[in-house]
Structure 1
Amino acid sequence: MANIQKAIDELHIAFTKLNDGFFEGYLPEPAITIQSGGKRKSMGWCSTKEVWQDKEGKNKRYELNIGAEYLDIDFMETMDTMLHEMVHLYNAIQGVQDCSRNGTYHNKRFKAECEQRGFYFPNEKDERYGWAFPKLTEESKQKIKGLDINEKAFVIARRSGSSGAATGSDEGTDSEEKKKTSYKWVCPGCGVIVRSTKPEIALKCMTCDQQLEEDK
């Protein structure tokens, strides 16, 4: 009989194998969780800070979550989500901010790293979410199939509906985004800062000729 512990154990195994296969084993093991995506209906997320730690602050871990409602979808989609969040983890460790707008807008830094880690982008940049929808290449899918990850571990998911925002993530929630009234924009070239009261505007630095990016 399938249970949630089998899924959690296999996610840890999958992380290790994906880490070795796509990141040369560079990534530290995070606290891997299965939580509801809540109102965001998120398939997964990775914290940008080490939000898990012991009382002494010595054992610190990032959080990588797979949405409870999506745990039993197509196996390759689950691996797509896992690897997607591992790209976020890699960028977090490198000190690279790859998202803005409370973690919803994926910028060109995220896109660039995805393309180095077995993804491609079938569609152009989304106005609201940026480069948030990469897809595994066929070569990556074949590579993952060869990692001997147990697909049968992911046959159970949350069915009773979701309520409340996802916990443990420092990337924000829909309700938090609505309350936000001030937005900070930074030029990736010279670092000039501009503030606005609107979230979706296009600002360009006349000195560097680059579009400003929102800074959380």
Structure 2
Amino acid sequence: MTDSDTITGLLVTALESAWAAIRSHHPDVPEVVLTVGSGSTGGSDLTLGHFAPDRWIRGEYELHELFIGGEGLQRGGADVLGTLLHEAGHGVAVTRGIKDTSRQGRWHNDRYRALGEELGLTLVHHPKIGWSVTTVPDKTRELYKEELEELTFALVAYRRREPDRRGGRKSNNNGMSAACACGRKIRVSPSVFEAGLIYCGNCGGAFDVDGEPGTRDSVHTEFMPLSSH
């Protein structure tokens, strides 16, 4: 057995064991296909994990995907457990038919906050991604003590972050299309859209990416913006 086999086996076993333990405490957390890979693309944000509904097919069944970013493994067992619990909250939202995010899964609303707290997380509001910044309090660490020890033992390696090859920022004069629930549409620059929610003067709802709001196939993602750590 090579070193890479040992790393992979320990890591996958620990992640799957922790997810099984979370499901045992919270029955609405669904089964998943676990994947581990790159959470960086050379930009400023780092994807720690995501929950993507119905991404895998086994016969006549569709299965959800749980992704864990390899770069985030260096944070240690407690924070990786926090990522698993974070994504489990999105899984519960899918099970219950709750719209807990918008903006292609980036903005985490108050409904997600309630789910995260139900899963045992402490959540902090971030101005760009909502109730997405999570920590694992002592009570939850004690509940998952065995799984946390297994994760800590298994985290012997992490993935190097991709270098930033973007160069100069490219402008987009056409902007992007955003829509609200009442049907109004606007065009806005990506930087303005990412700066904060834009509310409709007719219905009071928030504009979302045109064609994206409310879709069950959206990927719910935990990011690590540069400003959050």
Q: TM-score range by the shorter chain?
A: 0.7 to 0.9
Tell me how large the CA RMSD over aligned residues is: 2.7
- TM-score normalized by structure 2? 0.72
Secondary structure of 2:180's counterpart equals strand
How many residue pairs match? The answer is 189
1:100-124 CA distance string (max 9 Å, x none): 1122111111111112221223x4x
TM-superposed CA distance for 1:149, in Å, is 4.9
Counterpart among 47, 51, 54 of residue 50 in structure 1: 54
Counterpart among 110, 114, 117 of residue 115 in structure 1: 117
- Residue 141 in structure 1 maps to residue 141 in structure 2: yes
1:70-96 CA distance string (max 9 Å, x none): 224211000000100010111122222
Match for 1:139: what amino acid?
K
* Map of 2:187 onto structure 1: 197
Q: Does the C-alpha gap of structure 1 residues 59 and 146 become closer, same or farther in structure 2, counting only changes over 3 Å?
A: same
Distance 1:147 1:77 in 2: 12
1:41-60 CA distance string (max 9 Å, x none): 1111111x210113x4x132
* Map of 2:224 onto structure 1: none
* Map of 2:86 onto structure 1: 84
Secondary structure of 1:42's counterpart equals strand
Query: Which is strand-richer, 1 or 2?
Result: 2
Conserved? CA contact 1:44–1:66, under 8 Å: yes
Secondary structure of 1:26's counterpart equals coil
Unmatched tracts of structure 1, length 5 or more: 165-174, 187-191
Conserved? CA contact 1:14–1:149, under 8 Å: no
* Map of 1:38 onto structure 2: 40
Conserved? CA contact 2:30–2:92, under 8 Å: no
What percent of counterpart residues are identical? Answer: 21
Conserved? CA contact 1:13–1:149, under 8 Å: no
TM-superposed CA distance for 1:206, in Å, is 6.2
TM-superposed CA distance for 1:33, in Å, is 0.8
Q: Does the C-alpha gap of structure 1 residues 75 and 201 become closer, same or farther in structure 2, counting only changes over 3 Å?
A: closer
* Map of 1:15 onto structure 2: 19
- Residue 212 in structure 1 maps to residue 201 in structure 2: no
* Map of 2:180 onto structure 1: 185
Match for 1:152: what amino acid?
F
- TM-score normalized by structure 1? 0.76
1:163-185 CA distance string (max 9 Å, x none): 79xxxxxxxxxx9xx99711122
Distance 1:78 1:139 in 2: 16
Unmatched tracts of structure 2, length 5 or more: 165-169, 215-229
